Every structure is written in structure tokens, then in C-alpha cells.
Chains A and B, each alone.
Chain A
Amino acid sequence: MNPAAAAPVRQGGTNTAENSPRDGLTYRFRNLLGMEPLTAEQIVFLLDQSKPMQEIQRHPLKKLATLRGKSVALAFFEPSTRTRISFATAASRLGADSMNLQAESSSLKKGESLLDTVHTLDAMKPDCIVMRHSSSGAADFVARHLEIPVINAGDGTHEHPTQGLLDALTVRDRLGKMDGLNVTILGDIQHSRVARSDIHLLGKFGCRFKLCGPAMWLPRELEQIGPPGCSIRRASCMEEALVDADVIIVLRVQQERMNEPALPMDEYVMLYQLTEERLKMARPGALVLHPGPMIRGLEIDPSVADGPQSCVLEQVTNGVAVRMALLYLLMGTPPEEPNVSDAAHENRFYRPNVS
């Protein structure tokens, strides 16, 4: 099951039969569990809806009352500062409250099952749950047991859909498009949910991927995980990987993984660090993205991290915008299918279908 989206719903519209997305075609999302089940149209819709949110962030006054009275439960069973704060900020900017569950102090440590913890949270009646967990599929599992929308903020090594969206938004803003680009992903791709979400998303727009990293983290099967027809190749060395790249995504080195099997840090730096020299092999103006947090001097040279091609700070700003858009969209969909014309009382916002 994948309760990603129902059929598109037409709202506001003109008197003509055809309505383009500009005329108010909205997608209803029940949950956001991953990029894999979404269509290219749905993804474009989400990115477009993030634009007004980017604007809000440029206002002197960044707080709205749009979601006032609503609350978002932030259930982070895996430690995370950046993503959690990003979601909390997104909620707050739209006037919603957030309830915080943190792994370190969570009841999970006391042996309570995930389901019980989540049901307890649910009993406090949040309007939406944002969840991060170390087990792949945990968000899917929880979504099947709850009525309220679930946003996957990272499940094991499976997906990190909001990271995929903010990466795509950053690329689209900087390069003006996200179609047909050459994307290079560097690092421990086997264990990266960010890489998977990026591939599932950009792969739907004709992007071609080259993957590079230590061989034991680059299984053959990675070449097949994209959408049908998507070109994904493993590169044997950095030079081959970076040639002609438009976008370079540098993955975090997960230090816990360095031990299974052991790979000396110096070897990693020598073989796989994105240095200025190596960056020159990519197309001029190629973007450097990193999901953070960076370890300067390990996977990325500090001068590259701070250089003009680096987009890391925009990624963070766009992250808040994308999450605001998601909260706005998901918290507006009640669980049952309502009668759309119920709300068509105000002339301003809806044009009832004129037969």
C-alpha cells in the first residue's frame, strides 16, 4: 500500500473545461513517506508550493497564522538536530505548535514498542506526525496504524523525502531546471536514504547518475533502483565520476560505518574527498550539495564547502520552505473524502463548476 496521493482535485477554476495546474489543480496527499511513489507532476506541484514559502522567509515578519491551533508531533526516534529544528521552525512559521519526542529521553529506551509510543502521541491529538526512525519502513508501518498524516523525516536507509525535495528545489532555483542533468553522488550510498530519495526524485526528470565511493558500499543493485529507464552507473574513481557533472551530492561519512568493514579515514580522504582539484573536473558552475552535517576535511575540502559552488546554506533555507509547504498541504486534508463544494460559499476562492 502506498497512501501517497489521491486523485488530483480541481478547485477554483475557470469556466473552461480544461484546467491547468495554474488554475488551482491541487493534489491531495495523505502522507509523505517517500519520493518513490510520487509522479513527476506531484513533485513539481510540491516544489511550486514551496515557492511562496521561500518568500515568507524573506519577509521581515516571518510568522503566519495559517495553521494556528494545529499541532505537529515531532517523533524523532533517531537523534537529529538539524532536521528536527527545521520542521519545528516550519511549523512555527505557519503558526502551528510542535510536540517534541526525542530519542535520548524517549520511552522507547524503557522498552515501550514503537506502536505504543506512537499511539500515546496520537492520543494527544496532533494534526500530523513527523517521524524519523532507524528502521527502514518504520514510517510506512506507523502510517498504516494512524489516521493522521505521517511525514517521513528519514527511515533507516530507505528514504528521506524532504531532503530529496529541498535538494531538487535548490538545484531548480540555481540552475533554472532539474531535467536531464548529470548528477554525481559521492560516499556511502548503500546506507544512504538521502541518495535513494534524490535518485527516486531526480530520476523521474531524466537525470543521469554516477555513483562513486568505496566498493563495499556500492553494490551492483544500486544501478537498478531508479525509475525505469533511469541511467545509474557506478564509477570506479572520482575522476570518472565527476566528469561532466552538473550537480554533485556529497554524502556524510557515517563514522559508525567506518568500522564495518574498517576503512581508514586517511584512505577515504585520499580516494574520495571532494577537493578543489577534483571539482574542476566537473562542468563549470556545477553545484555542490551536502545534506549535512559536514565533516570538513573528511568528505569535503573546506574551500569547496565554503566556495561559490557550494549550496549548503541554501539547502537549509529551502529545507524550511519545503517543510512548510508539506505541513500546509498535509494538514489541510481531512481523513474522509469531503464534499468539495461545501466550502464554495465564498465567491472569492471557488468557482463552482458551471455546466
Chain B
Amino acid sequence: MRVVEKSQLMSATEIDRTLQRLAHEIVEKSGGTKNLALIGVRRRGVPLSQRIAQAMREIDGVEVPVGTLDITLYRDDLSKVAAHPVLQSSDIVFSVDDKDLILVDDVLYTGRTVRAAMNALFDLGRPRSVRLCVLIDRGHRQMPIEASFVGRMVQTSDTEIIEVRLREVDQEERVVLVDRVE
């Protein structure tokens, strides 16, 4: 199976600008940042959450703690995969109790990842609220889950894949739409 690039959805500058805008939005709509915390969902949610935190620091001068979450153990499809995927550690140094958490991920698709992430968070404690921030929302939800903060909405078909490439992970920076070809 190969992938063929169909089009570029976002360039590096556009990604950056979007993250800046999302940072503002979150601060605005949070009615105070005292209990705010960002949780980046592995893998690409992690650098995104860190960049959003950085933007918050620069623009609004607020210091918001950032944690990382590995949801592999909470997936609902482990029995279908070839071999169990490699585990990475979660790393949340602060307590989640009574916090207003913002889950950060690159792409919102079926919503299963977010469902798993919420299970993971609630095993850690009792957050006051959980909201979702994603760079791309591509529709096709299979869970009753929506994002409060969306970088861009994109219509896609099932055979298409959206690849978010970030410099921290992929050595390049853009969002592309690719097609799966048998």
C-alpha cells in the first residue's frame, strides 16, 4: 500500500499563525487561566501543546503547565492490530484534580482517540473540565465528541488521510492530504 500526495492544506507559516490564534482563543474563552493546563496527546499533540503554551507565554504572559499523555493502553482496537504498539510514558507532573484541561491533538477524526484520552485522564484524577483543541477537524465522527477549539475544518473522504508534519517530529512542517493507493 502506498500513499500519494494530493494537495497541501497548510504551509508552515499557516500552521504557526493558526497555533497563535488558538492560543489566544483558549485564553479568551477560559475565564481565567488559574486552573488551566494543556495535555498534549502523543505523538503530534505534544509539540502542538508545547507551542501553544509558548504562544500563551509570549502574547498573554500566562504560564500554563503542559503534560503529555500516551493513550496506547486505552485504545479500543488493540485486538485488531498486528502486535501491540510500543508504549511511551505519559508525563503529567501536576495533579489533574480540579483543573480545566485542554486536550491538544493534531487531527480529530472518529473521536476514538479522544475517548481513550478522557479515560486516561479520569484514571489520574478528577478534572473540573476537559475541552478539546485540534489543528484539523476532518469530520467522520463515530463518537459524540466535538472540539471547542479548531484550527481548520476540512472535508475528507474515507480513503484520504490527513498528515500533519511537524518539525519536531517529521523534519518538515506542513499539513498535506494524501490518498491511499492499493
For B119, the closest partner residue in chain A by CB is A65
For B107, the closest partner residue in chain A by CB is A347
Check: A348 CB closer than 8 A to any chain B CB.
Answer: yes
What is the minimal beta-carbon distance from A324 to any residue of chain B, in angstroms? 9
What is the minimal beta-carbon distance from A338 to any residue of chain B, in angstroms? 5
For A59, the closest partner residue in chain B by CB is B123
For A51, the closest partner residue in chain B by CB is B89
Query: Does B70 lie within 8 Å of A347, measured CB to CB?
Result: no
Query: Does A332 lie within 8 Å of B81, measured CB to CB?
Result: yes
Check: A259 CB closer than 8 A to any chain B CB.
Answer: no
Of the residues A28, A60, A333, A348, contact of B125 by C-beta under 8 Å? A60
Query: Given the known A-B contacts A346-B110, A347-B107, are A64 and B73 also in contact in the complex, defined by CB atoms under 8 Å?
Result: yes
Interface residues on B, range: 35 or more
Check: B101 CB closer than 8 A to any chain A CB.
Answer: no
Query: Does B87 lie within 8 Å of A49, measured CB to CB?
Result: yes
Query: Given the known A-B contacts A55-B89, A346-B110, are A354 and B3 also in contact in the complex, defined by CB atoms under 8 Å?
Result: yes
Check: A344 CB closer than 8 A to any chain B CB.
Answer: yes
The complex places the Cα of A325 from the Cα of B89 at a distance, in Å, of 12
**A127-174 residues at the B interface, CB under 8 angstroms:** none
Q: Which residues of chain B have C-beta atoms less than 8 A from A66's C-beta?
A: 73-75, 78
Query: Given the known A-B contacts A59-B124, A351-B163, are A26 and B81 also in contact in the complex, defined by CB atoms under 8 Å?
Result: no
Query: Given the known A-B contacts A65-B74, A347-B163, A348-B109, are A52 and B90 also in contact in the complex, defined by CB atoms under 8 Å?
Result: yes
**A319-340 residues at the B interface, CB under 8 angstroms:** 325, 328-329, 331-334, 338-340
Of the candidate stretches A10-18, A32-40, A216-224, the one touching chain B is: A10-18
Query: Does B82 lie within 8 Å of A52, measured CB to CB?
Result: no
Query: Does B82 lie within 8 Å of A346, measured CB to CB?
Result: no
**A42-71 residues at the B interface, CB under 8 angstroms:** 49, 51-53, 55-56, 59-61, 63-67, 69
**A296-351 residues at the B interface, CB under 8 angstroms:** 325, 328-329, 331-334, 338-344, 346-349, 351
Residue among B3, B82, B88 with the highest chain A CB neighbour number at 10 A: B82
Check: A123 CB closer than 8 A to any chain B CB.
Answer: no
Q: Which residues of chain B have C-beta atoms less than 8 A from A11's C-beta?
A: 82-83, 85-86
The complex places the Cα of A26 from the Cα of B123 at a distance, in Å, of 26
Instruction: Please tell me the number of chain A residues within 8 Å of chain B, measured between CB atoms.
Output: 49
What is the minimal beta-carbon distance from A68 to any residue of chain B, in angstroms? 9
What is the minimal beta-carbon distance from B165 to any residue of chain A, in angstroms? 7
Query: Does B112 lie within 8 Å of A346, measured CB to CB?
Result: yes
Query: Does A61 lie within 8 Å of B81, measured CB to CB?
Result: no
Query: Does A355 lie within 8 Å of B2, measured CB to CB?
Result: yes
Query: Does B165 lie within 8 Å of A52, measured CB to CB?
Result: no
Q: Which residues of chain A have C-beta atoms less than 8 A from B161's C-beta?
A: 347, 352
What is the minimal beta-carbon distance from B115 to any residue of chain A, in angstroms? 12
Q: Chain A interface mostly helix, strand, loop or mixed?
A: loop
**B31-61 residues at the A interface, CB under 8 angstroms:** 43
For A62, the closest partner residue in chain B by CB is B123
What is the minimal beta-carbon distance from A145 to any residue of chain B, in angstroms? 23
What is the minimal beta-carbon distance from A266 to any residue of chain B, in angstroms? 49
Check: B29 CB closer than 8 A to any chain A CB.
Answer: no
What is the minimal beta-carbon distance from A125 to any residue of chain B, in angstroms? 14
The complex places the Cα of A94 from the Cα of B77 at a distance, in Å, of 15
Check: B169 CB closer than 8 A to any chain A CB.
Answer: yes
Query: Does A352 lie within 8 Å of B43, measured CB to CB?
Result: no
Q: Which residues of chain A have C-beta atoms less than 8 A from B83's C-beta?
A: 9, 11, 26, 28, 329, 332-333
Residue among A9, A56, A65, A67 with the highest chain B CB neighbour number at 10 A: A65
**B144-181 residues at the A interface, CB under 8 angstroms:** 161-163, 165, 169-172, 178, 180
- Other than the given A26-B83, A346-B113, 14 more pairs (CB < 8 A) read A12-B86, A24-B85, A24-B86, A26-B84, A51-B89, A65-B74, A66-B74, A66-B78, A328-B73, A344-B1, A346-B110, A347-B109, A348-B105, A354-B178
List, sorted by A's number, 26 A–B pairs whose CB atoms are closer than 8 Å.
A12-B86, A14-B169, A14-B170, A15-B165, A15-B172, A49-B86, A51-B87, A52-B87, A52-B90, A53-B87, A55-B89, A61-B124, A63-B123, A65-B119, A66-B75, A94-B73, A333-B83, A342-B81, A342-B82, A343-B82, A346-B77, A346-B110, A348-B113, A352-B2, A352-B180, A355-B2
Point out residues on B near A: beta carbons under 8 Å: 1-3, 43, 70, 72-75, 77-90, 105, 107, 109-110, 112-113, 119, 122-125, 161-163, 165, 169-172, 178, 180
Point out residues on A near B: beta carbons under 8 Å: 9, 11-12, 14-16, 21, 24-26, 28, 49, 51-53, 55-56, 59-61, 63-67, 69, 94, 325, 328-329, 331-334, 338-344, 346-349, 351-352, 354-355
- Top 3 A-B residue pairs of the complex, sorted by shortest distance between their CB atoms: A332-B84, A343-B81, A61-B123
